[in-house]
Amino acid sequence: MTSTVISGIGELVTNETTAGDTAPLGLVRDAALVIDGDRVTWVGPGVAAPAADERVDVGGRCVLPGFVDSHAHLVFAGDRVEEFSARMAGRSYAAGGIRTTVAATRAASDGELATTASRLVAEMLAQGTTTVEIKSGYGLTVTDEARALAVASALTSETTYLGAHVVPPEFDGDAAGYLDLVTGPMLDACAPYARWVDVFCERGAFDADAARAVLRAGQRAGLDARVHANQLGPGPGARLAAEVGAASADHCTHLDDGDIAALADAGVVATLLPLAEFCTRSPYPDARRLLAAGVTVALATDCNPGSAYSSSMPMAIALAVREMRMTPAEAVWAATAGGAAALLRDDVGVLRPGANADLIVLDAPTHAHLAYRPGVPLVTAVWKDGNPAIR
Ligand code: NIG
Ligand code: FE
């Protein structure tokens, strides 16, 4: 195996608070990092860097862990640009728009779905995302959900079964029948391709009892739970996430004190998706209240054709800072180590010996530039599994 020392790092974000003195990012200034194979083997001050087969000098730039985007819906066909334009003209977002994408997805070939999903993963990688979770949820038949997860599993190990996204039109008036399908034959067909089970627990989608049945059935099939919770209004999603021991409650836009206490007590990560609020022109989640209560906060894109057609973690960070009053350090942590926590991973979102060699070189001296320079493509190089993926 070839070892590489990355030297000349002006600011290294390790997310290891023991590595440096600046919580939560564990910053090391004038740093170096050694990669051997697909792993980080050494991190520390540049003057103490060991020899390696190759050297890459980044000229004082900031290096940070690759972004961990723990919430994305990438297997779909078509777009909903008319819906977006209507929304910008005053119409509000509703869960029903999902059915438009379901119809287009069912009509698409496997190849078309794979092409779109891999294009989006490539778009993400170019913006620094080295780990991505991908959900099904636009097929909503046994065959279409299973093929969505087959497409997803060719692109990531973090695959999520979201058969319970909405009730499809052929089950109008028979939500119970659809629930039987989702918790029965559809789950059986999807579980072999899935790491996670998710449910859209929301008015117009699935209520608490239905969502609980979906999550429990998934858990019995060996999947871990995550929940679309409290996105469009107050509701039972966050408390249900706590009740079932989900890794993450996602969106968390409308939480009361009891919801926040439940997340904190159960150690459920709150994954905030500010691109969804941006793209639907909705009020943002209260990140400060969650952080004050000791809840672990993650940031993700929610990339999907309806509520947030963006693959950009840097944009999510900029919104978290500007609109949700997170500090740049909190937002960068949430987009890296926070996303890893939401996926129950400790090998990504962190740069320490033994971690995956997934990292970003910013064309900027510090992590804060990600929020300070919104919309500017600062990600200049990306290493994934120890190899330069973008440079
Ligand atoms: O996370 N909330 C449910 N699902 C997506 C939206 C999907 C869509 O509108 O197509 C979300 O925002
Ligand atoms: Fe989502």
- Can you give the CATH number for the domain in which 46 is found? 2.30.40.10
Q: Closest ligand to 135 CA?
A: 2
- Give the pLDDT score at 21: 55
- In this structure, the answer to whether residues 204 and 232 fall within a common structural domain is yes
- In this structure, the answer to whether residues 284 and 334 fall within a common structural domain is yes
- In this structure, the answer to whether residues 309 and 183 fall within a common structural domain is yes
d(CA 247, CA 317): 21
- Give the pLDDT score at 221: 98
* Contact present, 43 and 14 (Cβ < 8 Å): yes
Q: What confidence tens digit (pLDDT) does each residue in 305-319 have? A: 999 999 999 999 999
289 pLDDT higher than 80: yes
What is the 97 CA–ligand 1 centroid distance (Å)? Answer: 9
- In this structure, the answer to whether residues 357 and 337 fall within a common structural domain is no
Residue 332 pLDDT class (50, 70, 90 cuts):
very high
d(CA 193, CA 126): 26
- In this structure, the answer to whether residues 160 and 234 fall within a common structural domain is yes
3-state secondary structure of 57: strand
Work out the percent of the chain whose per-residue pLDDT is above 90: 96
- Domain span at residue 329? 68-342
Which residue, judged by its Cα, is nearest atom 5 of ligand 1? 307
| CATH code of the domain in which 139 resides | 3.20.20.140
Mean pLDDT value across residues 127-141: 98
Q: Is 97 in the pocket of ligand 1 (CB under 6 A)?
A: yes
Mean pLDDT value across residues 158-162: 99
Q: Which atom of ligand 1 is nearest to the CA of 138?
A: 10
Q: Per the structure block, which two tokens stand in for 338?
A: 């926070």
- Give the pLDDT score at 20: 55
23 pLDDT higher than 90: no
What is the 18 CA–ligand 2 centroid distance (Å)? Answer: 34
Terminal Cα distance for the chain, rounded: 21
| Contacts by 251-258, CB closer than 8 A, 24 or more apart | 251/276, 251/285, 251/302, 252/285, 252/290, 253/277, 253/282, 253/283, 253/284, 253/285, 254/230, 255/230, 255/285, 255/286, 255/289, 255/290
- In this structure, the answer to whether residues 115 and 132 fall within a common structural domain is yes
- In this structure, the answer to whether residues 210 and 357 fall within a common structural domain is no
211 pLDDT higher than 80: yes
Q: Which atom of ligand 1 is nearest to the CA of 162?
A: 4
205 pLDDT higher than 60: yes
- In this structure, the answer to whether residues 313 and 220 fall within a common structural domain is yes
In terms of Cα–Cα distance, which of 165, 158, 8 is closest to 102?
165
Residue 338 pLDDT class (50, 70, 90 cuts):
very high
Mean pLDDT value across residues 366-378: 98
Q: Which atom of ligand 1 is nearest to the CA of 100?
A: 10
d(CA 287, CA 325): 7
What is the 228 CA–ligand 2 centroid distance (Å)? Answer: 6
Q: What confidence tens digit (pLDDT) does each residue in 54-66 have? A: 999 999 999 999 9
What is the 303 CA–ligand 2 centroid distance (Å)? Answer: 7
Chain length of the chain: 391
Distances (CA, A) of 154 to 61, 213, 223: 33, 28, 18
Neighbours of 30 (CB within 10 A): 14
d(CA 78, CA 127): 23
Instruction: List, in order, residues 6 or more apart from 171 with CB less than 8 Å away.
Output: 177, 178, 181
* Contact present, 318 and 128 (Cβ < 8 Å): no
Q: Which of 116, 140, 200 to mutate to test the pocket of ligand 1 (most atoms within 8 A of CB)?
A: 200
- Give the pLDDT score at 130: 98
DSSP letter, residue 193 = G
337 pLDDT higher than 80: yes
| Contacts by 145-148, CB closer than 8 A, 24 or more apart | 145/186, 145/189, 145/190, 146/186, 146/189, 146/190, 146/193, 147/110, 147/113, 148/75, 148/105, 148/113
Q: What confidence tens digit (pLDDT) does each residue in 66-121 have? A: 999 999 999 999 999 999 999 999 988 877 789 999 999 999 999 999 999 999 99
Q: Is 335 in the pocket of ligand 1 (CB under 6 A)?
A: no
Pairing of strands 379-384, 196-201: unpaired
- In this structure, the answer to whether residues 28 and 94 fall within a common structural domain is no
* Contact present, 159 and 196 (Cβ < 8 Å): yes
Q: Is 276 in the pocket of ligand 1 (CB under 6 A)?
A: yes
- In this structure, the answer to whether residues 200 and 239 fall within a common structural domain is yes
The mean of the pLDDT values for the chain is 97
Q: Is 198 in the pocket of ligand 1 (CB under 6 A)?
A: no
The tally of domains found in the chain comes to 2
Mean pLDDT value across residues 45-61: 97
- In this structure, the answer to whether residues 222 and 302 fall within a common structural domain is yes
- In this structure, the answer to whether residues 303 and 228 fall within a common structural domain is yes
- What is the H or E stretch that residue 160 is in? strand 158-164
d(CA 344, CA 351): 16
19 pLDDT higher than 60: no
